Structure 1
Amino acid sequence: MNITFRQLEVFLAVFRSGSFTAAANKLHVTQSAASKMIAELESQLGLPLFERTTRRVIPSSAATEFYRFALDVTATMETAKRSVQELITLERGKVSVAASPLMLYGFLSSVIAGYRRRFPGIDFEIFEYSTDETIESVMSGTVDFGFCATDTRLPDIQSSVILENAMHAIVGREHVLARRKRVRLKELVPYNYISLRGSYSIRRSLDQVFASTGIGYESHIEVGTLTAALGFVKEGAGFLIAPGYTAAIASQWGMQTLEIVDLASFRHRVSLIRRCAQRLSVSARSFQSHLQQSFPLLQSCCSAARAATA
């Protein structure tokens, strides 16, 4: 059996997109070439990987089983290629990071900028993603590190908390609650709630809180990013409930933030995530050390992990 790296790339692209055409376009090959490589891979494995229909390509059970192994191989090869290209002295290299836009603005941009002042030859590729997109990019090996609030235990993913924030209500300067310093959840009921889509863990966590308290809010505006939510809040379209790093940005942008009495003990936790099986490149390992110095919680977590394995 002589499975090639290119065959695995095509397989993963077809599996994710459900289309030979989309996969071929992404990898800059013809559709016939992509179909041929999948047919050869199926012949080598002795199993059909996809069911072809007129509208969609459906993965078989064998394809689903093969997917994780293909991910491991391609991610390892990409890391190996990058490590070979980097110099041990960190004169050049590349680190890829996925996080939400406001995480990047709120606390990651300063950390990355500080690292690049020490190692200006290291390039960063930044992906602005939702929670679910960040997790998928880490699992697929597309990025070295992801930053998100994970609300479930993830298979094959190493997760370490780096930040803990209280939740705040955010309103515009002209809002009737803008003169308040703190508020209770029930006092927000009369006002429009600016909600995030379910692909964000903040939304899922808050839904659980609301369900446990029996408090429900009317939401006439649902958005896909916290940045968009803040824009609507600033224009007086409603209120937002968000973690401390978002509240700090809201204050900078001219909005009012209020402590939520009912959620005084609730903490929104942001974690650094990466694939357990992925070997980090030289520059990625260096940046990971920088992260440990930048976030005391991460440093404590790593110290505890080392003690447990000693």
Structure 2
Amino acid sequence: MNITLRQLQVFLTLFESRSFTATAAQMHVTQSAVSKMVAELEAQLGFALFDRTSRRVEPNDAAREFRGYAEDIMASMQAATRSVVELSSLARGQISIAASPLMIYGLLAEPIARYRERYPGIRFELHELSTDEAVESVRAGRVDFGFGALDSEVPGVEEELVFRDRLLAVVPPGHALAAGKSGKSVRWADLAQWQHISLRRLYSVRRTLDMVVEHEGVTLPSQIEAGTLTAALGLARAGAGIVVLPGYAAEIARGWGMAAVDIDSRPRQIHRVCLIRRKSARPSVAARSFLAELLPVLRAREPAARGGAGR
């Protein structure tokens, strides 16, 4: 068997596009070259990968099974190539990270800026994604690593807890929950009396909140569900409701002139942020170097590390 990386790349592109014409355009080759490479791959494997009609190409069960292995091979080769290029004292290189927009804003922005001061040749590629999307990007090898929290085990990826944060209630300026609450916390029963801006369950923040309110036995009324944390903050700032967020996001809200109120702090109300990596993958030199500097910074920022709420 003599399968080439080019054949695998054509296979993966055709799997996504379902079109020989589109695949040829993306790969900058002729349509006949695409057909030939797919046919050669199928001949070496000993089975068909696509069901062909006059108008469309559909992956079959064999293709869906083979896809994961092809992605692993391509991701490993891409990582290996990057590592070789980046061995020259981090003079060049790229780090790809998947995380939610406010996680990038609230947790990663400053460490990235400090890292680039010392290594200006390193290019950061930031993918602002939901937790589910970040996990899939890591699994497929499209990014070096991601941040979020898994609800259950996902084949091909592993997680490591790197940061814990307390939950806070973000309210617009002058809100009754913020009045006279300096240094104090509100109860979940207090929050249940107000309309909330909720986030979709694509985000680990929403999943954390759902578990907490279920344990507390309260219901947080909500008539608005937002797709991003920035949208939720904008709605809360406009007075459409309050929003419960982790501390790293609440710090940004304060910068926007809003108030962030502690919520009856207990260990079970901790929001977990995990480093998500592809199993058996060897990160590039730049990715390993950045993580070696980032993780101690995150752990030092934990409320528990500072002796604050959330212990």
Q: In which range does the TM-score fall when normalised by the shorter chain?
A: 0.7 to 0.9
Of 274, 289, 292, the match for 1:271: 274
Aligned residues: 298
Unaligned regions of 5+ residues in structure 2, if any?
A: 302-311
Q: C-alpha displacement at 1:14, in angstroms?
A: 3.7
Aligned to 1:303: none
Aligned partner letter, 2:209: L
| 8 Å Cα contact 1:195-1:240 kept in structure 2 | yes
Deviates more, 1:73-82 or 1:169-178: 169-178
Q: Match for residue 15 of structure 2?
A: 15
Opposite residue 139 of structure 1, the aligned amino acid is R
How has the CA–CA distance of structure 1 residues 175 and 18 changed in structure 2, closer, same or farther, with 3 Å as cutoff? farther
Aligned residue number for residue 246 of structure 1: 249
Percent identical pairs in the alignment equals 52
- 2:169 match: 169
Deviation at 1:143, TM superposition (A): 1.0
- Range with bigger deviation, 197-206 or 174-183: 174-183
SS in 1 for 2:222: coil
Stretch moving more, 230-239 or 113-122: 113-122
**Please, what TM-score do these two structures have when normalized by structure 1?**
0.85
User: Once the two structures are superposed, what CA deviation does each residue of 1:43-90 show, in whole Å capped at 9, x if it has no partner?
Assistant: 321222233568875433322321221122101111122223224322
Cα 1:193–1:93 change in 2 (3 A) is same
Contact 2:167 2:246 in 1 (8 A): yes
Matched, 1:259 2:262: yes
In the aligned structure 1, how far is the partner of 2:127 from the partner of 2:146? Answer: 9
- In the other structure, the counterpart of 1:131 is 131
User: Mean alpha-carbon deviation: is it higher for 273-282 or for 10-19?
Assistant: 10-19
State the Cα RMSD in Å. Answer: 2.7
Q: Structure 1 pair 102/23, CA: closer, same or farther in 2 (3 Å)?
A: farther
C-alpha spacing 1:51/1:247, structure 2 compared with 1 (3 Å): same
Tell me what 1:157 maps to. 157
- What amino acid maps onto 2:262 in structure 1? E
* Partner in structure 2 of residue 230 of structure 1: 233
Moved more, 7-16 or 68-77: 7-16
Gaps of 5+ in 1: 299-310
Match of 2:188 in 1: 185
Q: Distance in 2 between matches of 1:217 and 1:107?
A: 27
Conserved? CA contact 1:24–1:34, under 8 Å:
yes
Contact 1:167 1:263 in 2 (8 A): no
- Report SS of the residue matched to 1:186: helix
Please say if residues 174 and 236 of structure 1, whose CA atoms lie closer than 8 Å, have aligned partners that are also in contact.
no
Separation of aligned partners in 1, 2:219 and 2:284: 47
What is the distance in 2 between the residues matched to 1:112 and 1:12? 32
Q: Which amino acid aligns with 2:194?
A: Y
Distance 1:17 1:173, change over 3 A: farther
Q: Structure 2 vs 1, CA of residues 84 and 224 (structure 1 numbering), >3 Å: closer, same or farther?
A: same
- Secondary structure in 2 aligned to 1:133? helix
1:102 counterpart = 2:105: no
Distance change (3 Å), C-alpha of 1:161 and 1:21 = farther
Aligned-partner Cα distance in 1 for 2:274–2:207: 16
Q: Name whichever of 128-137 and 283-292 sits farther off.
A: 283-292
State the one-letter code of the partner of 2:144.
D
Take 2:62 and 2:194, find their aligned partners in 1: how far apart are those partners?
Answer: 51
2:275 alignment partner AA? L
**Which residues of 2 match residues 1-310 of structure 1 at below 5 A?**
1-16=1-16, 23=23, 26-28=26-28, 33-52=33-52, 58-179=58-179, 181=181, 182-261=185-264, 265-296=268-299
Q: Deviations over 1:141-164 (max 9, x none)?
A: 111121112222333323221110
TM-score (norm. length: structure 2): 0.85
